[in-house]
Every structure is written in C-alpha cells, then in structure tokens.
Chain A
Amino acid sequence: MKLKEEIVFLEIRQMIYAFLGSAFLNPPNSSQIQGILEQKLFVQFPLELDQADFLKGLKLLSRWTITNEDSQLEDILSQLQQDYSNLFVGPGHLLAPPWESVYLTDDKLTFGSPTLEVREFFRKHGLEYERINNDPDDHFGLEMEFMSKLIQMERHHLENQNLEDAIRLSNEHLFFLQEHVMKWADRFTQKVAEHAGTDYFQGLALLTRGYLTWDYELLQNRISLSNS
C-alpha cells in the first residue's frame, strides 16, 4: 500500500513542478487560464502544506480565482500577460529577471556559467532544452520542468520496483535543488512577489517559494533516512 501511496505522492509533486514550469516559462494563455478558473485549481489545490508562504500564496490565488469568476477571459488574460511581460519579458526594465545567471554571476548577465552547468545537468539525464543557445537553459520555469521530469523518472523506477535507481534520482533532485534552484529561488520569488501587479503572480511566487522550501526539506529528511 505504501508503495502505491508513494507513487501517487510522486505524481502530485511531478505535476506541481510541471505546472510551475509552464506557469513561469510561458506567458499565460487562454486554455491554461480558463482551465485554472473552471477547475478552481487554487480553491482545491491537490496539496495543502502547513507552510506560511505556501498558504499565503494559495490564499491570494484563491482570491484571484473568486474575484475573476465573472470576468471576461480576455480581460483577465490581457492583465496577466501584461504582468508577465513587465516581470519577465520587457521591453524595458525587467522587474524579476527569470534566469539563474542574472542572480549568481558577478556580471548579472544572461548566458553565464550557470547556464552551462544547468545544461550539463539536463544532459546527464538525457534531456536538452529545445531552444538551446537561443534562450538560456537556466530559466526558472525550465528548472521547474526539469524537476518534474526527474520525478517522473523516479516514479517509473519505483513502478518497476527499482528502488536503487529511484533513490539515485531522488538524490539528483536534491542535488539540483541544492546547487541551483535553492541558490536563487528565494531572491527570484521575492522579486516576483514584490513587483507583481496581479494576485495571480504574487500568489504564484509565494506558493512556489513555500512549496520549494517544503520539498527541499522533505528530500533532505528522506535522504538522511535512506542513509541511516
């Protein structure tokens, strides 16, 4: 029973990462926003944590959902897309640059050495960004998507009762969080939360931060257990 539970649990985490990936990587689109509103995703979020940022984020997202229940999709979308542009696209000053290199290099540039390190991590697991060398590999959304792919692989191993490989991937997941995501996620989500012009992106930033904090702790505990 535990195995099945564990697999389900992995699936939820996988999907949350996948959702965060696409939410940060691409401007909001109509099917996505319509889906979120119709499914009331944030009112009945698949995971509930006892974590302050997470809860605060979820609250904002629920509020955004309820406020927009009767709004025209077109209006909501244009507001979100504007916010997305201001935060991550430009033109003009970006309120929250979404690339790791901007935070972790002295030069504060895109396409720095973290871009290459992240790329190597992807390749180690047989993956490559489809826009390699056109867009930087160390985009926050892409790092989230990568987490989701790692969990997906972990889940397959577990389904095949290949525990050692599952643990190895879980370790890789932790390692990637340690070496990359957690080194800048705090500052990045802080910027998004601070500058977002909508409850949606502010909520998303807090939810993400809370979720990552929790996921990171979970993995750390688990690794210490598996080593014991």
Chain B
Amino acid sequence: MADFISRINELSLSRRNFIKASTAAAASLSLVGCGNTLMPASSDQVASQDGQWITAACWHNCGGRCLNKAYVVDGVVLRQKTDDTHMDSPDFPQQRGCARGRSQRKQILGADRLKYPMKRKNWEPGGGNKELRGKDEWVRISWDEALDIVASEIKRVKAKYGNSAIFIPGGSELPRAVSLYGGYTQRWGAVSWGAWPEVYPHITGVSGNGASDGNDRFRLRDSNLIILWGANPAVSSNGNPAYNFLQAKKAGAKFISVDPIYTDTARVLVDEWIPCRPATDTTLILGMAYHLLENDLHDQEFLDKYCVGFDAEHMPEGADPKDNFKDYVLGTYDGIPKTPEWASEICGVEPAAIRRFATEYAGSKPVAIITGGAAARINNGEHLPHALLTLGLMTGNFGIPGAGVSPNMHNRSTYAGPTLVKSGGNGLPKIANPISDMRINNCEMWDAVITGKYTDGEGPKKDINIQMICHGAGSAINQRAGLMRGIEAHRKVEFVMTQNYVLNTDAKYSDLVLPVTTQWERYGGTVAGNREMLILYSQVIEPIYEAKDDIWIAREIGKRLGVDADKIDPLSPEQASFNQVAGTKVMKGDGSGYDPLVTITEADLAELGVEGSPQMGRISYKEFKEKGIYQIPRAPGDKLEFTSFEDFLGNPEENKLGTPSGKFQIHSQELSDHIASFGWTPKAPIPKYEPSIEGYEDGKKDGYPHQLVTIHYPRRSHSILDNVSWLREAFPQEFWLNAEDAMKLGIKDGDIAKITSRHGSVIRPVYVTERIMPGVVALGEGAWYEADENEGVDKAGATNTLNGPIPSGQGHTGHNSCNVKVEKYSKPLEPDYKWPQRVIF
C-alpha cells in the first residue's frame, strides 16, 4: 500500500502544468454532455480480419455491364475487383469493369452522401420564397417530419389543383403510391436512341429500336468491312464491344469511321476516318446513293425482291409512283439531283471521298454498318435512320453473315440477337396510373410547367397546371434539354422534392431531399447487360446513415395518404430477388428454346424463407450466388450465332416482315402519318433530307457558326459519378475545339472558352485538337450544372445548358443539333476536381 501511494504521488507530479481544476464546475459538464453511443460489445471477439468477396451491383446506365466485387471485412468495404471467375480469352471473355465501376467506393462511401432528410430553410407549405431554391440553406429534419410534409403537400396540391398537378419525372416507387391516390402526370420521350425507335419498326417490321439487331460478335468476324457510323463503343459501350471488334479486325475486316470526331474507338480500329458534319449525314448517304445509281453499283435484284418504294415500279399499294426514292435521288421531279457535289456542300465530305466511299461500300459485301444513337440524336431526324437502312438495302447488305445496318448499341453492341441468359421478373404487380393520358414530353415539360400548355398530338395545345415535382431515380434538370428553363420551372411550382443518394442537380433545386440507399445497401437481385451473361448481386453493406430504400419511402408516404401500403410494396426483397433467379432462363445449345438456369432445392427454399418450387437447372443456387455471374459458353460456329433478317432472306414468302408489304419499306406512308400524329414536324414517306431545327443550316443563318456534339464521357455514366473528384481528375471535362478554328479564335490549348447557344452559356477549358473536324465542337454530356450567377454562365459545362428544349419528330431529344458560338473567356477557372464536393461526404 505504501508503495502504491508513493507511485501515485510520482505519477501525479505532472499535474503542475494546469492552472486549476475544479470538481464543483465539473458537475455542470456532466449535465450537458454524457454520450452513451458506445455500448457493451455483443461479443468480446476482436473482429476477424478475414473478409469476404461479395458481388456488388454495378447498376449504372453506362452502356456496359460488368462484374464488380467488393472485399468486405466486418461490414466495411476495403477494396474492389472485377471478373476473375474464368480465364479470359477472345472467344470467352471476362466481363471486366472500367474506371467508373472501380470508383464505386467513392460513389457510395464519399463524404458527399445524403445522410439525413433535409428541408430547405425558407420552405413553407405552398413553397415560401421559391426563388431561393438552389441557393437556400438546409435544415436537418426527422424522417417522420419529412414524410408528413410530402404527404400533406400531395394532399394539398391534389385538393387544390387535382392529380394532374403532380409531376413525377422519374423513379418507379413513389408512382406506385400516387397511382393509388388518383395518379400523376408522367414524362415521356426517347433521349438516348435518337430517331431510331419509331423508324426502325416501320421500315423493317421488327419491333423495338434496333439496338439489339445486326450481327452477333462471331458473325462480325465474317465482315469484309465494318463502318462505324457515329459509333464509339470504346467509350459508350464499355466492357467487351471494342475488344470484340478487335477480333473482327484480326480476322481481316477493314474499318471506316464516319464521325465528326476521331474517337477512341477509331484510334484502336479504323483504317479511314470520314469526318461528317452533325445532323447532315443524310446528305452524305444520298450522295452515295446517287453515285451507286450513276454507276449501276446498286443491287436491283435485291431491291425488287425484298423492298418496296425504291423505284416507281415497286411502290407499296396506294402510294404515288412519283414519290419513289430513286427519282428523289436523281432529282427527277424536284430538279435537285442529290449528287456528291450537292451533298458535299452540306455535309463537308469531299465529293471524291463520297464517291470512293460509295464504291468501296458496294464492292465489299458483306459490310456491316453499325451506328450508335448519336447520328440520329438530332431534331426532326427521322430521315437519317431511314436513309441509312435504305443505303444498306440498295447494296443488298442485309441478312447475310457480316452484313446489315443497325443501331447496334449500348450494352448490346457486338451482342446482337436474342437474349441468351434471361432474368426472371421480380413478380411485383404493376399499378396503373389512372391518369396515364397526362404525359408531357421531355422537350416540352419545363415550358409546360411555366406556360401551362402542352402538345398532345395534332391539334391545338392543351392546358396543364403543374404545381408539384417529385424526383425519384434520374436527373431530370441536368439531363434533359433546356436546363435553364428547368430551373425556372422548379422555381415556379409550389413544392419540389427529390429522393437521391447525393445532392444532384434535382436535389439542389428542391424543397426537401430524402436520402436513399444505393444498390450496395439493398438486398440484391439480377442485372443484365450483354446477351451472354447475367449478374446476381448481393447486399454489400448496411444502409448508411439514415438512408432508406425508395420503396420504403413510397410505402410510408402511401400510409399517410391512406392508401393500401401492402399494394405498394407487396413483396419482400428476398422473394423479389428469388423470383428473378428462379425465373432465369438460358438458351439451349441448339438455339431452339430456353431451359431454367438455376437448380433450386427444398433446402434452398427453406434457407431463403421464400415461396417457390424446386426445379432442375444448369447450376446450383449457391454457385450462382457465390460467383455472382453466369456466362453461357460460346465458340465460333456454334448454333447461337446471329444475323438479323437471315430467315427473311432465306424465304421471303414464308418469313414475311411485319410491315404492311411484308418487305422492307423504303416508302412508308404509315411512318409519315405516324410522325405527323405527334403534332410537331413532318416526315416524308421516303428518306428525304429535312434539315434539322438548329442544324448546320440554321447555325450559318443565325450567326452561330459552330455545331456542338454532346458525347458520352468516360468519367461518368450520364450524370452519375460526376461528383467523384478522382474521376474528374482522370477525365477532365474539356471543350473540344479544332486546331484551325482555335487559331482563328485566338484560343490556345488549356485556355478557358465561353460557349454560347441560343439557350445558355458555359465556360470550360479548351482541348485544341485535330481529332475534331473544323466547325464542330464537342463537350461530354452529364457534368453537374454549377451556376455562376454573377457571370450568367454554367462553370461545369452541362451540355443541357446549351441544348434547347425543341420538341420535334417522335418527341425524341436532338442533343446533336445545336448551334453555338465560341469566344475566349478572360477570367480563370479552377479545375473541377479541385472544387468542393457537393459533399455527400
């Protein structure tokens, strides 16, 4: 004891270096602060350092789909990897991830996650000071308060204005609740596919937009020539497509790229680059068609047998014989022969190059023309898909292995054909929107909010009064044309709310933000990509902070609206995921039909606690879950190879196309009538060049000498992941400017440029290059709008600041018909990777 006291005395010496310590005052400390968030541990075991690899969802709409795995120790993700489930080979490639997928820890665990429900400080029922949206401060609130606000605003808006005043531009969960409460106004219109969706079925009789049509990757090895027409799969379809094309090149195919940009894909593959002005490709095609006719290089026999509308002798029933394609090209009736010289003036390709290109195309059968959405992503651009298909038909380049014309894009690029591994549905019953006729088009929605008028087919515009905007999944302000109008619209309505995991542009301009879980925090399920494989992902981590699933939010709001919550959310996540797995089918080896993929035993059912029946398949449930992927074995020459229209070519009588004539319709009155019925712009029954609104000609006329193309960018998937500064640094958001143009403008590489369209202005650092043709400029789409209110510019370079909301044709968006002027900007701009994150730290 004496020893103890003396040691205490020694140890206490150091107390000299404080001035005073008062126990009396210490009592007040205990009153104000005694946290008790550290509880007795559930076990005294120190956490094992052995982790587990879990298949993580990589769910983005990036145009690829890859295997992504997370190494998880005690609930914490320490690193990621990609596909190593089998040896890689050209014939049986792994599904490897890209920089984006490998940045998901930064997406999900960055400090900029939305953590709690937040309310705009100056919000009050009815909106309060609505001008403050996007600028106001935020106040943390409880989930109960947040859900009460949403429900009471829905009730209030419905009572005052009716259900159509509630606009839900995106997300699939909240609509379930609101549909049970009388419905809501929807958004519609193609964005990615350009003008293909309504054109392709009318010409070919095949339903869908054509993105899954063309040649299977093995059949591409049969091509003599592959023309990438406004297609850049190395960026827009990450994963294997560029690699699959490389195998075709190794097998002897020549590659030509028609594109205003010398793309990353071109760098890897192409032998020749034909730069063509945006929105004018149809003139290039018509010039080629003229050359084919002039030199008798077209396949008249094919045209006679398989097509209608090419010439006066082969017109569909009821059509004016003068209205045929051949006479249009020759200028028989309009007096304008569509010569290469005529085309060259518009599209910028030299006449000699047009002739050489046409000759090579006609003489290289089989030739595959493959396009992405870009070339046809132009205002009133229906003529382009129609013309491109017609070019293929003129040379008989259809229905034989290695030939064809198709917008074979997105995650089906190089993977045309029926799905070989097909997920089952989750079994969630649909809930119909009782007012599903209330739809506003992408290019008109913000104007509809502001002006109260919208187009509903031919005839006068109709009235609408939107007073509430609810954003689920998506990024409507940032990713739809007319961003500036979007912000104006958001500052007009009485209530705006956003469900998201980060403060994206929609969330920023809202009154209320609700934090949602990412797919890493959810139970799991299947994600599909190319046709040869299916991924089964699992939950990686617990929901972080106070994030909740979207469906939970819909259920809670539904309860407050007094609707049946069990109708909104009738399935457990376990059951929904199981339904997908149990319903997954795999193509038989001879291509004749499908078998179940997964074997399910009574023991599996019991372990999962789900309803279902045992079945026999190719792999066990456990194997699928552990590997996280099933990829169907393939080899050249197998029975699963595919080329569109092979059966029609083989027997055109037996296998008629689903068009009125049973043949390819170079003349389609139905297409023309159909486009007219949307109520915006006309479309001739044959592929005539109809200059785009804000296309090349309009720009020249109105003093906007440059044409902007908006390209997919490797640093993000549309707008998703643009908040990750790692990716920002790796892939700068640069403005592409041709070197000759730059010299004329007095702009050097790295300078800051101001780019102005009729709709808005952005500033960005300039990438001066010969990789883009003169007169054309480019900016990656998806950057997060960042207003500089004083200068009236968007510092981030969101392309929709420049793209106007111009409804046309089938109601698609024409992102690549946009006129701009460019000038040097005198003020500095800090690189965006150094900007403060909208931390969702």
A contact set with B: CB distance below 8 Å: 2-3, 5-6, 8-9, 11-12, 15-16, 18-23, 25-27, 31-32, 35-36, 39-41, 44-50, 81-82, 85-86, 89-94, 97, 99, 102, 107-113, 115-116, 119-120, 122-124, 126-135, 141-142, 145-146, 148-149, 161, 163, 214, 217-218, 221-222, 225-226
Question: For window 1-51 of chain B, which residues contact chain A by CB distance below 8 Å?
Answer: 1, 4-5, 7-15, 17-26, 28-35, 37-47
Contact, CB under 8 Å: B11 / A214: no
Contact, CB under 8 Å: A18 / B841: no
Give the chain A neighbours of B140 by CB distance below 8 A: 27, 81, 85, 89
Across the interface, A134 reaches (CB within 8 A) one of B110, B542, B841, namely B542
Instruction: Find the residue from B18, B29, B542 having the highest chain A CB count within 10 A.
Output: B29
B637 at interface, CB cutoff 8 A? no
Give the chain B neighbours of A120 by CB distance below 8 A: 46-47
Across the interface, B837 reaches (CB within 8 A) one of A5, A45, A93, A113, namely A93
Contact, CB under 8 Å: A109 / B106: yes
Q: Are A48 and B19 CB-contacts (below 8 A) given A26-B35, A85-B140, A109-B111?
A: yes
Give the chain B neighbours of A44 by CB distance below 8 A: 22, 25, 28
Q: Are A109 and B138 CB-contacts (below 8 A) given A32-B32, A46-B29?
A: no
B481 at interface, CB cutoff 8 A? no
Instruction: Find the residue from B20, B836, B841 having the highest chain A CB count within 10 A.
Output: B841
CB-nearest residue of chain B relative to A43? B25
Give the chain B neighbours of A41 by CB distance below 8 A: 25, 28-29, 32
Q: A50-B19, A90-B112, A120-B47 are in contact. List 19 more A-B contacts (CB 8 A).
A: A15-B26, A22-B34, A45-B25, A47-B18, A47-B20, A47-B22, A49-B18, A82-B137, A90-B839, A91-B138, A97-B111, A109-B106, A111-B76, A112-B109, A131-B37, A133-B544, A145-B35, A148-B35, A226-B7
- Bound: A120/B524 CA distance, A: 29
Across the interface, A94 reaches (CB within 8 A) one of B5, B47, B839, namely B839
Contact, CB under 8 Å: A90 / B840: yes
- Bound: A50/B4 CA distance, A: 29
B606 at interface, CB cutoff 8 A? no
Question: For window 61-119 of chain B, which residues contact chain A by CB distance below 8 Å?
Answer: 73-78, 105-106, 109-116, 118
Contact, CB under 8 Å: B21 / A12: yes
Give the chain B neighbours of A112 by CB distance below 8 A: 76, 78, 109
- Bound: A21/B544 CA distance, A: 21
Give the chain B neighbours of A130 by CB distance below 8 A: 37-39
CB-nearest residue of chain B relative to A15? B29
Contact, CB under 8 Å: A46 / B836: no
Q: Are A146 and B38 CB-contacts (below 8 A) given A89-B115, A110-B110?
A: yes
Contact, CB under 8 Å: A109 / B29: no
CB-nearest residue of chain B relative to A25? B35
Contact, CB under 8 Å: A20 / B33: yes
Shortest Cβ gap from A159 to chain B (Å): 12
B139 at interface, CB cutoff 8 A? yes
Contact, CB under 8 Å: A46 / B23: yes
Give the chain A neighbours of B109 by CB distance below 8 A: 109-112
Contact, CB under 8 Å: A5 / B12: yes
Q: Are A110 and B111 CB-contacts (below 8 A) given A92-B138, A133-B76?
A: yes
Give the chain A neighbours of B33 by CB distance below 8 A: 15, 18-23, 32
Contact, CB under 8 Å: B503 / A92: yes
Interface size grouping (class) on chain B:
35 or more
Across the interface, A132 reaches (CB within 8 A) one of B18, B75, B113, namely B75
Give the chain A neighbours of B26 by CB distance below 8 A: 11-12, 15, 46
Contact, CB under 8 Å: B116 / A89: yes
B333 at interface, CB cutoff 8 A? no
Number of A-B contacts (CB under 8 A): 253
CB-nearest residue of chain B relative to A91? B503
Contact, CB under 8 Å: B18 / A116: no
Q: Are A128 and B39 CB-contacts (below 8 A) given A39-B28, A133-B541, A163-B7?
A: yes
Contact, CB under 8 Å: A9 / B21: yes
CB-nearest residue of chain B relative to A223? B11
Contact, CB under 8 Å: B37 / A115: no
CB-nearest residue of chain A relative to B111? A97
- Bound: A131/B105 CA distance, A: 20
Contact, CB under 8 Å: B545 / A11: no
Q: Are A94 and B841 CB-contacts (below 8 A) given A16-B29, A23-B33, A46-B21?
A: yes
Across the interface, A141 reaches (CB within 8 A) one of B11, B14, B35, B105, namely B35
Across the interface, B76 reaches (CB within 8 A) one of A12, A20, A116, namely A116
B128 at interface, CB cutoff 8 A? no
A-B contact pairs, 6 of them (CB 8 A): A2-B5, A35-B28, A46-B24, A110-B111, A120-B47, A124-B46
Shortest Cβ gap from B400 to chain A (Å): 51
B513 at interface, CB cutoff 8 A? yes
Contact, CB under 8 Å: B111 / A94: yes
Shortest Cβ gap from A97 to chain B (Å): 5
Instruction: Find the residue from B9, B20, B38 having the highest chain A CB count within 10 A.
Output: B38
Give the chain A neighbours of B17 by CB distance below 8 A: 49-50, 214, 217-218
CB-nearest residue of chain A relative to B137? A82
Contact, CB under 8 Å: B21 / A35: no
- Bound: A27/B118 CA distance, A: 14
CB-nearest residue of chain B relative to A36? B32
Shortest Cβ gap from A170 to chain B (Å): 9
B496 at interface, CB cutoff 8 A? no
- Bound: A133/B539 CA distance, A: 13
B445 at interface, CB cutoff 8 A? no
B484 at interface, CB cutoff 8 A? no
B838 at interface, CB cutoff 8 A? yes
What 8 A-B pairs come out closest when comparing CB atoms? A19-B33, A39-B28, A93-B836, A133-B75, A46-B25, A46-B26, A22-B35, A128-B41
Shortest Cβ gap from B293 to chain A (Å): 61
Contact, CB under 8 Å: A15 / B19: no
Give the chain B neighbours of A126 by CB distance below 8 A: 40-41, 44
Shortest Cβ gap from A37 to chain B (Å): 10
Instruction: Find the residue from B37, B44, B121, B137 having the highest chain A CB count within 10 A.
Output: B37
Contact, CB under 8 Å: B18 / A214: yes
Give the chain B neighbours of A11 by CB distance below 8 A: 23, 26
- Bound: A207/B172 CA distance, A: 49
Contact, CB under 8 Å: B77 / A48: no
Give the chain A neighbours of B31 by CB distance below 8 A: 35, 39
Contact, CB under 8 Å: B9 / A2: yes
Give the chain B neighbours of A90 by CB distance below 8 A: 112-115, 118, 138, 503, 839-841
Contact, CB under 8 Å: B545 / A134: yes
B507 at interface, CB cutoff 8 A? yes
Across the interface, A6 reaches (CB within 8 A) one of B12, B20, B42, namely B12
CB-nearest residue of chain A relative to B541? A133
Shortest Cβ gap from B99 to chain A (Å): 14
B205 at interface, CB cutoff 8 A? no
- Bound: A22/B111 CA distance, A: 21
CB-nearest residue of chain A relative to B545? A135
Give the chain A neighbours of B105 by CB distance below 8 A: 107, 109
Shortest Cβ gap from A29 to chain B (Å): 10
Give the chain A neighbours of B660 by CB distance below 8 A: none
- Bound: A18/B28 CA distance, A: 12
Shortest Cβ gap from B630 to chain A (Å): 30
Give the chain B neighbours of A107 by CB distance below 8 A: 105-106, 726
- Bound: A124/B47 CA distance, A: 9
- Bound: A126/B44 CA distance, A: 6
Give the chain A neighbours of B78 by CB distance below 8 A: 112-113, 116
Contact, CB under 8 Å: B46 / A93: no
Across the interface, B23 reaches (CB within 8 A) one of A8, A20, A221, A222, namely A8
Give the chain A neighbours of B8 by CB distance below 8 A: 2-3, 6, 163
Shortest Cβ gap from B113 to chain A (Å): 8
Give the chain B neighbours of A124 by CB distance below 8 A: 46
- Bound: A217/B18 CA distance, A: 12
B543 at interface, CB cutoff 8 A? yes
Give the chain B neighbours of A97 by CB distance below 8 A: 111, 839, 841
Give the chain B neighbours of A94 by CB distance below 8 A: 111-112, 837, 839, 841
- Bound: A92/B26 CA distance, A: 37
Shortest Cβ gap from B37 to chain A (Å): 5
